[in-house]
Amino acid sequence: MISVYNTLSRSKQPLQPVEAGHVRMYVCGITVYDYCHLGHARMLVGFDVVARWLREAGLRVTYVRNITDIDDKIIRRAVETGRKLHEVTAFYIDAMHEDEATLNVLAPDAEPRATQHIAGMLDIIGRLESKELAYRAEDGDVNYAVRRFPGYGKLSGKSLDDLRAGERVEVAQGKRDPFDFVLWKAAKPSEPDESKWESPYGLGRPGWHIECSAMSRDLLGLPLDIHGGGPDLKFPHHENEIAQTEGAFGGQLANIWMHCGPLLVDAEKMSKSLGNFFTIREACARYRPEAVRFFIVRNHYRSPQNFAAENLADAENALSRLYVALQQVQPDGLGVDWSEAHAVAFREAMNDDFNTPEAIAQLFDLATEVNRKRSPRAAGQLHALGAILGLLQQPPAAFLQDMRGREGITPAQIAERIAARAEAKAAKDYAAADAIRAELLDAGVALEDRPGGVTDWRRADG
């Protein structure tokens, strides 16, 4: 039985899909106006691991992660750059897919775009208006009447008096209450034609929150088994989704709500104004991409996580230890033996709210066994269990010899120095051979002599 922490109930509960054996999971995705940042990476990798484990556990999973392709920031970027909206969104969608591939994030089963679901959004708005949960404002917008929905605040656990409008909740003159939020935005003459749709409320476009209410219902039905997203979405976005969907249709929007923990950079919130803002591609230029994924996975998805140079270096060192074990002993290729003790503990950890830190501890125990016993079966377990987390699937040398982030020596120069060392050893000039080894180590390269006169090298971490 898989248990999952439910943000709504503030407790772990068994995952019991509405349809036996089939999990329908919706995760709020990216607004595509810029490159994805490390906060996005945590969400992408975190829910990738969730989907992988649910499938490994024998469940059928329909994983939907949306794309917001109409938004104030997208319009602003298009106007600033003189491009069409679809050109902006197409560019950054392609970039997002590249980043996902770099981090070994599998594609969701469906990736709906907001602009493909305008009809569904208008249907929900019409239902809300008929129930007097939505009203037309003097400025042409259609707003949600928050205080008419009695359950508002149940996800964040705060009363309306405690809550503060999030940065993406516009406070306009036409609102009856500052907590009301926009469902349909009236078109402005200065906005591109691409951002305007005909509706019963006049020419305009959807608000941000209504998008996910429509897309999740259109593709997965109600209620969802799991609804997930980043920590900043709990309020107002997810709170507003609940108000819209449950206000329109009754029942529950989702049985389980999952939220990743916050990502900090050097113990501070990531912010462009602080100069500590990193995109995924910037991080993967400085650190090996699998180490970035490993850094995310080795922390529990709900825990705060600090992106700092020493933490990334530690992740690279730790992952190197696992790859060194696989380099020493060829895995047997038989897949996971779920009766073996490490696999049993791995499964128990993952079934307990996706406890990846404990699951990864089993990988290190297996690596120790590989190093001690030179066991192909232990190496096979290590390799196969790592695959479930999206790890350890490169040839070991590809990871161990990746010198990104290290300036100076090149692989060709390393090969030349290894050849010179071999010549020195053949001439019994061991002092020269030792000097070359020390020179390479100073350059961040560790040598390992193997039987038959073969010398391997790897990046010296730590």
Per-residue three-class SS string for the chain: CCEEEECCCCEEEECCCCECCEEEEEEEEEECCCCCEHHHHHHHHHHHHHHHHHHHCCCEEEEEEEEECCCHHHHHHHHHHCCCHHHHHHHHHHHHHHHHHHCCCCCCCECCEHHHCHHHHHHHHHHHHHCCCEEECCCCCEEECHHHCCCCCCCCCCCCCCCCCCCCCCCCCCCCCCCCEEEEEECCCCCCHHHCECCCCCCEEECHHHHHHHHHHHHHCCCEEEEEECHHHHHHHHHHHHHHHHHHHCCCCEEEEEECCCEEECCEECCCCCCCCCEHHHHHHHCCHHHHHHHHHCCCCCCCEEECHHHHHHHHHHHHHHHHHHHHCCCCCCCCCCCCHHHHHHHHHHHECCCHHHHHHHHHHHHHHHHHHCCHHHHHHHHHHHHHCCCCCCCHHHHHCCCCCCCCCCHHHHHHHHHHHHHHHHCCCHHHHHHHHHHHHHCCEEEEEECCCEEEEEECCC
How confident is the model at residue 173, as a pLDDT?
65
Digit-by-digit pLDDT tens for the chain (462 residues) are 999 999 999 999 999 999 999 999 999 999 999 999 999 999 999 999 999 999 999 999 999 999 999 999 999 999 999 999 999 999 999 999 999 999 999 999 999 999 999 999 999 999 999 999 999 999 999 999 999 999 999 999 988 877 654 444 445 567 899 889 999 999 999 999 999 999 999 999 999 999 999 999 999 999 999 999 999 999 999 999 999 999 999 999 999 999 999 999 888 877 666 778 899 999 999 999 999 999 999 999 999 999 998 999 999 999 999 999 999 999 999 999 999 999 999 999 999 999 999 999 999 999 999 999 999 999 999 999 999 999 999 999 999 999 998 888 898 999 999 999 999 999 999 999 999 999 999 999 999 998 888 899 999 975
Would the annotation count 260 as a binding residue? Answer: no
Can you give the pLDDT at residue 171?
52
Is 284 one of the annotated binding-site residues? no
**Residue 272 assigned ligand-binding role:** yes
Is 40 one of the annotated binding-site residues?
A: no
Q: Which CATH number does 3-263 carry?
A: 3.40.50.620
Task: Report whether 241 belongs to an annotated binding site.
Answer: yes
pLDDT attached to residue 166: 44
Arch. (CATH architecture) of 309-400: Up-down Bundle (1.20)
What are the domain boundaries of the chain? 3-263, 309-400, 411-459
Q: What is the pLDDT of residue 351?
A: 98
What pLDDT is attached to residue 66? 98
